[in-house]
Amino acid sequence: MAGTIDFGNAIISNLPLHNKNTVFTNSEYDPDFSLEESSYNIRNFQHVIAENEDGKKFHLINHHGYHIPQHKKGDDFTLKACKQIYEYAKLLEGPVIITGDFNLEPGSESLAVFEPLFRNLSMKYGLKTTRNYLTHKSEVCDYIFVNDSVVVNDFYASDVIASDHQGLILDFDIQ
């Protein structure tokens, strides 16, 4: 299939997004991506400031984690990426939401990096899986982390099928 493809993350929102920033955690953007020649483990996180209907703003960070085909325990690459995201996020003022498919199991050393300042909602709400019947996998590997400026009204994994992952739904207010 000759042609040009882009590979990466996206944030889709009906809220205005400001101050968009992309930070690479592994490798760098490849404008000529090829599955035969490129590493599919080019990874980054996106940071935007979203503004709700009341004019209140919050930080949103989206990350798709480094993929290790054999397991979801993490390694030096995932630890480095999580530390990089944490160090970036802890400098932000106000409400912060970090979300994404981290490709990590709940007890991994890499995810523990977020504990000092962020609540892991996937763990706090006891999710058993973030997968569905479209895959044979059953682990939790998708997460939402929030700081204390985010008031959680509800959090759950959706049953609506959009991919082999369940969508994570966060109903929240910001202080």
Backbone phi and psi for residue 124, each to the nearest 5 degrees, phi listed first: -60, -35
Bridge partner residues of 150 (DSSP)? 174
Is the distance from CB of 151 to CB of 172 less than 8 angstroms?
yes
Instruction: Look up the pTM and report it.
Output: 0.90
Indicate the domain borders of the chain.
17-129+139-148
Give bridge partners of residue 15 from the DSSP assignment: none
Could you read off the pLDDT of 127-170 as tens digits, one per residue? 887 776 667 776 777 899 999 999 999 999 888 777 767 788 89
Name the residue among 60, 59, 49, 44 with its Cα closest to residue 6: 44
Give 55-94 pLDDT, tens digit per residue.
999 999 999 998 888 889 999 999 999 999 999 999 999 9
Q: Provide the pLDDT for residue 5.
A: 60
**CATH number listed for the domain at residues 17-129+139-148:** 3.60.10.10
Return the SS3 of 124.
helix
Average of per-residue pLDDT across 112-121: 97
